[in-house]
Amino acid sequence: MTQIPIHKLMTQHVELLSPATPLHSVAHAMQSKRHSCVVLGEDKIPAGIITERDLVSILGRILDEPELANEPAANFMSTPPCTVDDKQTLFDALVISRADGVRHLPVVNNSGKLVGLITQTDLAQAHFQVIEEQQHVIERAIHKRTEQLVAANAELQSLSMEDGLLHIGNRRAMEVDMEHTHARAVRYNQTYTTVLLDVDFFKAYNDHYGHMAGDDALKQTASIVKSAIRKSDRVYRYGGEELLLLLPDTGPDGGAILTQRILKALQDTAITHCKSPYGVITMSAGIANHDPEQEASATDWSAVVHAADQRLYQAKEAGRNRVA
């Protein structure tokens, strides 16, 4: 159910106009055809997008400066647009829409050409439909074999994008977001930074204080990380006591500054850890950056994560509670 392909959900009735189109013509096209957005581009390649919300925001400026209505839409569009591939799935689109905070996703084919549009409303309706269908399957499975019940419940659980304990993105959502972010960075020549964070001496903490205390410590740690990052940044549970930070449009220096701030905030919180040489819970971190200007830039997202993991190992070898 979660593997429903995007092309079965999208609408093919999407308006594609030139970025040179005057803003008032874009507004007229949206009103006359009752579209919630217009995609702007040339030769069917999306270059930007203008939504109803954008127009409402722009309206205030036009009231003060009427001549803005005659300016090209390129001056007002969101660029580059956040797109999805027509071979991706409902789950992929849900993760991307949530991670990038967008309500309209132009759908492109392998050549990067516009083939359709999927909106947040489309995703929500499909999501709820899948949940309802799976609930019915579970209800019927109660009267059938246990294997059927387990399989249906596993499918329902696969809809989750969030770690149940830490209330941050889970590993599956992380992989979708990393793949999408890397592909977008390659396509638009953008940079991004990945940070792997690991709680120092966590096994010793669990052994001494117990697993419930360990869970509470992880929740506090995740909360500190979430409060330190920007709205555009994302945090995921990578596994166990490891967290992954995804920092779009961020170079290694910016990533290091943010990570140092997170490590200091955690240490200043002073969660007692008598089995650590620091006396409180601390974290080690490894940073890796995808830079399209570098010849040795990673060919896929997993290589970036692997590089971050290697630097995390260096931080631990150097004494922990530090960034490498």
Strand ranges for the chain from DSSP E: 16-17, 37-42, 45-51, 84-85, 104-108, 114-119, 192-199, 234-239, 242-248, 283-290
Which letter does DSSP use for residue 292 in this model? T
What is the dihedral sign for C-alpha 40, 180, 104, 189?
Answer: negative
| Tokens encoding 17 | 């106009």
pLDDT the model gives residue 291 = 87
* Distance of alpha carbon 46 from alpha carbon 117, whole angstroms: 11
Q: List Cβ neighbours of 136 (8 Å cut-off, separation of 6 or more).
A: none
The neighbouring-strand residues paired with 283 are 199
Nearest to 89 by CA among 204, 7, 159, 146: 7
Residue 213: phi, psi to the nearest 5? Answer: -65, -35
Q: Does domain 184-317 correspond to CATH entry 3.30.1330.20?
A: no
Domain ranges in the chain are 6-122, 184-317
Q: How far, CA to CA in Å, does 171 sit from each of 118, 223, 225, 242?
A: 24, 17, 17, 11
Alpha-carbon span 155 to 150, nearest angstrom = 9
Q: Residue 237: beta bridge partners?
A: 243
- Position 89 scores a pLDDT of 87
In the sheet that holds 283-290, the strands lie side by side as: 234-239, 242-248, 192-199, 283-290
The domain made up of 6-122 has a fold known as: CBS-domain (3.10.580)
Q: Please give the distance of CA 172 from its chain centroid, rounded to a whole number.
A: 11
Which residues contact residue 215 at a Cβ distance below 8 angstroms, ignoring those fewer than 6 apart?
165
* Predicted local confidence at residue 174, as pLDDT: 93
Q: Going residue by residue through the chain, which has 324 residues, state the pLDDT in tens, using 9 for 90 and above.
A: 457 888 888 888 888 999 999 999 999 998 898 888 999 999 999 999 999 988 888 888 888 888 989 999 999 999 999 999 999 988 888 889 889 888 899 999 999 999 999 988 888 887 777 777 777 776 776 666 666 666 766 666 655 788 889 999 999 899 999 999 999 999 899 999 999 999 999 999 999 999 999 999 999 999 999 999 999 999 999 999 999 999 999 999 999 999 999 999 999 999 999 999 999 999 999 999 998 877 556 678 999 999 999 999 999 999 999 999
Beta strand extents in 20-149 (DSSP E only): 37-42, 45-51, 84-85, 104-108, 114-119
Nearest Cα neighbor of 305 from 165, 222, 182, 189 is 182
* pLDDT in the model for residue 33: 87
| Cβ atoms 91, 16 nearer than 8 A | no
pTM (predicted TM-score) = 0.73
Structure tokens at 27: 């507004």
